[in-house]
Amino acid sequence: MKNKVVVVTGASSGIGKACAWYFAKNGSKVILAARSLEKLEIIYKEMISQGYEVLVVKSDVSIESDCKDLISKTITRFNRIDVLINNAGISMRATLEEMDLSVIKKVMDVNFYGTVFCTKYALPYLLQSNGSVVGVSSIAGYKGLPGRTAYSASKFAIHGLLESLRLENLKKGLHVLIACPGFTASNIRNTALSKDGMIQKESPRDESKMMTAEMVAEYIYYAVLKRQNSLVLTFNGKLTVLLNKFFPKLVDRLVYNHLKEEPNSPF
């Protein structure tokens, strides 16, 4: 990854921030993209002070023109793209019965269309470099989660998009990785949307017992290096995916009971 040009969306916190640091420490040139320019500038100054080559681009991935601008500024500065990490995402917590439909649209705009827009505009350059497209997905892209209808739908959509993209470019040298971290300690649950679209602010889960964002970043780095097709993390995540292939009804009950135990669960 030395001197490779790596674009990371959602780079202001969590897995995106951790990926940016890990790739930079391994010699990559990193483009930090997120909505919060203030947070990006703090990371930028820290990285520059350590001698890393970094570019900051304020981007809302739900806006197509922002994604086009992100790729354009990357090419202007570095003249190539080797890795695109589609990490930007939001979550939600509500049943479909209670949820305002605007929540589904917002989640799909960020999670799914953000991946579509960035990948579409980066694709010509990734094909030139035999590069990598990474979708930071979730176990929710393998198994629908109750109370996470919009989130699960967006992740299933990302899986379909990226699997199709891989096959379309099977003979063109493009690497496509679908990375599913499982529950990770980050702010995605703090910023998750409630049934009316408001930010829930507090995580319903014990973040201290989860895999860290830094651990996830390391796994993603080596999965890119080895050009893996998929990455499923945590024991529970791997077990869920495996059992769901053979005993889907059992997993239905296990997942329901597990999420039912969350504080203020809708179940």
- Read off the DSSP letter of residue 82: S
Sign of CA dihedral 57, 104, 189, 241: negative
Determine the Cα–Cα distance for residues 194 and 93; give it in Å rounded to an integer: 5
Determine the Cα–Cα distance for residues 37 and 135; give it in Å rounded to an integer: 23
Determine the Cα–Cα distance for residues 167 and 16; give it in Å rounded to an integer: 26
Determine the Cα–Cα distance for residues 180 and 230; give it in Å rounded to an integer: 8
Q: Among this protein's residues, is 121 annotated catalytic?
A: no
Total Cβ atoms within 10 A of residue 55: 18
* Cβ atoms of residues 188 and 91 within 8 Å: yes
Determine the Cα–Cα distance for residues 34 and 58; give it in Å rounded to an integer: 5
The string of DSSP letters for 16-46 reads: HHHHHHHHHHTT-EEEEEES-HHHHHHHHHH
Q: What are phi and psi of 94, to 5 degrees?
A: -175, 155
Determine the Cα–Cα distance for residues 125 and 81; give it in Å rounded to an integer: 6
Name the active-site residue from 44, 52, 142, 151: 151
Q: Please give the positions annotated as active site.
A: 151
